[in-house]
Amino acid sequence: MAIIHKTTMSPGKLELLAAWLPDRPWYLPTGAAPDLARAGGFRLDDPAGEVGIEFMVVTDDSGERPIAYHVPLTYRGAPLDGADAALIGTSEHGVLGTRWVYDGAHDPVLVGELLALFQGRAVPQRQSESDTPDPSVTARFDGPGLPALLPAERPEVSDSARDTEVRVTGPGRTRLAVARVLTPLAPDAGPAEAAGGVTAGWTAPDGAAHRGVFASLYSPAPEDASEDAHGDA
């Protein structure tokens, strides 16, 4: 169980993200420095109790319309070997001391627990409360080979204009896509193309409540899976 300390971080999370976001491939420039506000999210617990795991939503209100970004974060008490490119920055925590803050899509602990959430083995927690499940976060997976899904020891990550793809080991090369620019789901939205999805909410600067897909799992078509199996023989 993660303990949420009511204390300070210096620099704060928004300060770190404001400096980091403009260099991301999926950042949408507004012509001004990011004007960020916390908008929502949730947490997962690291079973080992070593790594803080947070799925944060921030809104950038520096342009003509607010943009909601999903930034999965991990907080560590020491650097993660081989992950310098994923380091967002360091911050002094009022209780825990120096924390190394990473883009969580590159962190095997976050990827593993996100897959556990799809599998029903992890319970989403409220963002700012200790040991308090968040039932508003929902997860589903309808694809094959669910028990065999495992994170790679060192996730292979690639960014696009809208999301980050993480290679997932397991049957058929299932793909994990972490949404970066969030789009509200329409009330009458039909079934998603993805084999699985994690859906959660956030609040816009005008107070409107939205829900969207934070992460998706895609299973290959049967012919693709057959090709993979043949190639591995």
Q: How many domains does the chain have?
A: 1
Residue 61 belongs to a domain? yes
Average confidence (pLDDT) over 18-36 = 96
Domain assignment of residue 124, given as a range: 9-232
Mean pLDDT, the chain, rounded, equals 86
Cβ 70 vs Cβ 159: under 8 Å: no
C-alpha atoms less than 13 angstroms from C-alpha of 19 in its C-beta half-sphere? 9
H/E element, 222: helix 222-232
Residue 3 belongs to a domain? no
Residue 107 belongs to a domain? yes
Render pLDDT for 197-221 as a digit per residue (tens, 0 to 9).
999 999 999 999 999 999 999 876 5
Closest listed residue to residue 6, CA positions, set 96, 133, 104? 96
Residue 67 belongs to a domain? yes
Render pLDDT for 12-22 as a digit per residue (tens, 0 to 9).
899 999 999 99
C-alpha atoms less than 13 angstroms from C-alpha of 87 in its C-beta half-sphere? 15
Q: Is the pLDDT of residue 186 over 60?
A: yes
Residue 39 belongs to a domain? yes
Q: Which residues on neighbouring strands pair with residue 59, listed in sequence order?
A: 37, 68
Residue 106 belongs to a domain? yes
pLDDT at 93: 77
Render pLDDT for 129-165 as a digit per residue (tens, 0 to 9).
878 999 999 999 886 665 556 666 777 899 999 999 9
Q: Which two tokens stand for residue 195?
A: 């084999």
